[in-house]
Amino acid sequence: MSYSIPLFKLNFDDAEIKAVTETIQSQWISTGPKCEELERNFSEFIDVPFALSLSNCTSALHLAMKILDIGIEDEVICPSLTFAASVNSIRYVNAIPVFCDIISNEDLNIDPVKAEKLITPKTKAILAVHFAGFPCDMTAISELAGKYNLKIIEDASHAPGSEYGGRKLGSIGDVACFSFFSNKNISTGEGGVLLTKNEELYNRAKLLRSHGMTTMSYQRALGHATEYDIAELGYNFRMDDMRASIGIVQLNKLPEDLDKRQIIRQKYLNMLSQNNNLIIPFAKNTEFVTNYIFPVILKNSNKQKRDAVRHALHDAGIQTSIHYPAIHRFSVYKDYTKSLPITEYVSDNEITLPIFGTLTDDEIEYICDKLEEITRK
């Protein structure tokens, strides 16, 4: 159906068109100078020395597992309230996902207290997913990592620009992964970036990104090499320069867009504060965040009631979504299923409301009024 208020809008204009056109005219459209430029810019933005552009965030997560030497029968503690790619990456290396519940209906991130109880001699890493761009408790997670000699992988798909204690998310763990999927804060259609402070990890990820080849086509085209070796069994996880050129423009636009989202979130908070049928996660957050999505949770509800509310909003022309169906309930993860009561309640009763930089005051008021009317009934 057609929505009068969509869930999100692309932050695109003539700048992206110009960037792609110039890249095509340059006659170099695969991995090359634009990918390198995006990597430099993103590295500086997050303040991490090494960045690697990739085909998507899923490939970044996969490479994170590989370069940290996570493998067969190793355990990785992870949330279930995330997109499937977060946990699929653990299975790609034949490791075992150990699902951990979230903190509460107000804080949808992995619970470090519960996580510690799940640590065994097989535990190799913690996957910290910064839900909606709001930071996990990285102090507690870092303490666990130090105490038990664990690696930290930050899934920062929702968080390019979010902060924790004055540091950008993605600068705290051993490896961080970002998404540039079409509906993300930075959009290149498909794409992602892996970040690390460790040069050895970066070099291995770079090797694995392109079939384990010791040099790439761009280096050979510049005359820097004429031959290559295959040093390790690698993948085709490259980004191309057309998407990278869009990413460069999008990164330049990001600070202004995040400021707009901050204002919009505050308007939502003000207008929804009197709705006694809702919980607004992260309402007390004081950190600067991306506000990638705006989730609300219905009180005293169930999946059928949540779905009825969504249908009524859709009938009013308001597009919504769900973030996320709990991964441990999917058929492919039936062997790893456990009871995660908070995750399950949120998964059954969460509604994602529209948020994007050009959402107007009138549209926010309309959404909040309709939500109040529908939930009151």
Q: What is the pLDDT of residues 288-322, one digit of tens each?
A: 999 999 999 999 999 999 999 999 999 999 999 99
Single out the residue in 223, 250, 277 at which a domain terminates. Answer: 250
Could you tell me which of 19, 18, 58 has the C-alpha nearest to residue 35? 19
Contact 221, 321 (CB under 8 A): no
Whether residue 278 sits in one domain with residue 203: no
Residue 54 phi, psi dihedral angles, 5° rounding: -140, 170
Query: How many domains in the chain?
Result: 2
Domain membership of residue 143 (yes or no) is yes
| Per-residue model confidence (pLDDT) at position 224 | 63
Whether residue 206 sits in one domain with residue 313: no
| Per-residue model confidence (pLDDT) at position 1 | 63
CA torsion sign for 141, 142, 143, 147 is positive
Whether residue 48 sits in one domain with residue 34: yes
Could you tell me which of 133, 80, 101, 129 has the C-alpha nearest to residue 294? 133
Single out the residue in 218, 250, 282 at which a domain terminates. Answer: 250
Whether residue 188 sits in one domain with residue 272: no
Residue 15 burial by Cβ neighbours in a 10 Å radius (0-12, 13-18, 19+): middle
Whether residue 171 sits in one domain with residue 303: no
Residue 271: which domain range? 255-376
Crossing angle for the helix pair 33-46 and 241-272, to the nearest 10 degrees: 30
Residue stretches of the chain with pLDDT short of 50: none
Whether residue 189 sits in one domain with residue 55: yes
Domain membership of residue 96 (yes or no) is yes
| Per-residue model confidence (pLDDT) at position 222 | 65
Whether residue 266 sits in one domain with residue 217: no
| Per-residue model confidence (pLDDT) at position 337 | 84
Contact 46, 175 (CB under 8 A): no
Domain membership of residue 7 (yes or no) is no
| Per-residue model confidence (pLDDT) at position 77 | 98
- The DSSP element (H or E) to which 246 belongs, if any, is helix 241-272
Whether residue 231 sits in one domain with residue 325: no
| Per-residue model confidence (pLDDT) at position 215 | 78
Single out the residue in 219, 250, 281 at which a domain terminates. Answer: 250
The C-alpha atoms of residue 32 and residue 35 are separated, in whole angstroms, by 5
Whether residue 195 sits in one domain with residue 310: no
| Per-residue model confidence (pLDDT) at position 175 | 98
The C-alpha atoms of residue 312 and residue 310 are separated, in whole angstroms, by 5
Whether residue 206 sits in one domain with residue 65: yes
| Per-residue model confidence (pLDDT) at position 221 | 58
| Per-residue model confidence (pLDDT) at position 219 | 65
Helix (H/G/I), strand (E/B), else coil: 240: coil
- Non-local (6+) Cβ contacts of 235 within 8 A are 59, 62, 63, 208, 209, 210, 211
Whether residue 219 sits in one domain with residue 110: yes
- The DSSP element (H or E) to which 89 belongs, if any, is helix 84-92
The C-alpha atoms of residue 11 and residue 18 are separated, in whole angstroms, by 15
The C-alpha atoms of residue 70 and residue 233 are separated, in whole angstroms, by 16
**CATH code for the domain in which residue 274 is found:** 3.90.1150.10
Whether residue 97 sits in one domain with residue 246: yes
Token readout for 348 is 């059954």
* pTM for the structure as a whole: 0.96
pLDDT tens profile 77-96: 999 999 999 999 999 999 99
